């Protein structure tokens, strides 16, 4: 069995920790549909009410076309990842898609995200900032207990990792893995660069720590709080078999994200999509 091909359990045992930190080996991928870098800072907005809102106006959201197994988006020239580069899509087969959740753990929004995923029996990949994992080890354990994977997302979420010297890149990745390991008991095997900022130096340090680079293909830019309608529309109209969807549970007010996923996730499931982990 290759490193990281696991299925996590719901209890926080040594085995479940190791399983939750793994993933399938990187296979041939399709081209990216990437979004811009996000600052992830606090944005104005109301605090979360503690309730996951229901779909208020079902008719205003687009319908989801049933997926055709193996019908993945075509590879695009400029954005085609080279061999050994980041993963933008799941292997192009079946109707599987992946949900990734960045910039946590967050004491306000991560529990809401976990409750929503549990409701629909979905396993996601949480890309955690190391200092947040160190500050909230209990939330890290809850993510593991839910059967989710944990990816390294640097220790401080720097503006552009590619502009940092090699020693600083190494420190960002190493400190984040150490913080995640201390909280969960296992080492992450996936790494996501903040904003999808990749370079040879970043990929080299990622590989040196035994991690695979993970990117995304569907970005509704929920970090900018563009409105529930925009987030839902983007997810439902751009998701295709193999897609890796980017969402956030940290970095600011995530009310819109939670509300949008409350609408989008059951619709994707009803359309015939199946959630998997990279």
| Catalytic positions, written as ranges | 102, 248
C-alpha span between 80 and 74 (Å, rounded): 10
Structure tokens, 129: 């900032």
How many other C-beta atoms are found inside a 10 Å radius of the C-beta of residue 50?
8
How many other C-beta atoms are found inside a 10 Å radius of the C-beta of residue 174?
16
C-alpha span between 212 and 189 (Å, rounded): 6
What are the backbone angles phi and psi of residue 204, rounded to the nearest 5°? -65, -45
Q: Which residue has the tokens 């890796």?
A: 244
Q: How many residues does the chain have?
A: 278
Q: Provide CB contacts within 8 A for 33, sequence distance 6+.
A: 73, 79, 217, 218, 219, 238
Q: What burial class does residue 101 get, using C-beta atoms within 10 Å of its C-beta: 0-12 exposed, 13-18 middle, 19+ buried?
A: buried
C-alpha span between 81 and 63 (Å, rounded): 31
State yes or no: cis peptide before 201, omega within 30 of 0: no
């Amino acid at each position: 069995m290759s490193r990281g091909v696991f299925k996590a359990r719901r209890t926080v045992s040594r085995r479940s920790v190791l399983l939750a930190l793994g993933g399938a080996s990187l296979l041939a991928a399709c081209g990216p549909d990437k979004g811009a870098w996000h600052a992830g800072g606090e944005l104005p907005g109301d605090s979360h009410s503690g309730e996951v809102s229901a779909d208020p106006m079902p008719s205003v959201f687009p319908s989801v076309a049933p997926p055709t197994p193996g019908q993945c988006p075509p590879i695009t020239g400029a954005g085609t990842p080279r061999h050994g580069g980041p993963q933008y899509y799941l292997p192009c087969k079946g109707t599987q898609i992946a949900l990734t959740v960045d910039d946590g753990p967050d004491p306000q929004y991560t529990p809401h995200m976990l409750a929503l995923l549990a409701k629909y029996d979905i396993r996601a990949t949480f890309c955690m900032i190391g200092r947040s994992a160190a500050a909230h080890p209990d939330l890290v354990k809850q993510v593991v207990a839910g059967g989710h994977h944990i990816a390294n997302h640097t220790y401080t979420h720097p503006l552009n990792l590619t502009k940092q010297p090699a020693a600083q890149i190494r420190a960002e990745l190493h400190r984040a893995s150490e913080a995640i390991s201390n909280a969960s008991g296992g080492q992450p095997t996936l790494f996501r660069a903040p904003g999808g900022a990749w370079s040879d130096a970043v990929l080299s340090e990622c590989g040196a720590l035994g991690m695979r680079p993970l990117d995304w293909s569907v970005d509704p830019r929920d970090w900018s709080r563009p409105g529930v309608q925009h987030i839902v529309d983007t997810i439902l109209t751009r998701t295709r078999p193999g897609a890796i969807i980017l969402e956030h549970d940290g970095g600011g007010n995530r009310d819109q994200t939670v509300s949008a996923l409350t609408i989008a996730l059951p619709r994707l499931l009803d359309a015939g999509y199946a959630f998997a982990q990279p």
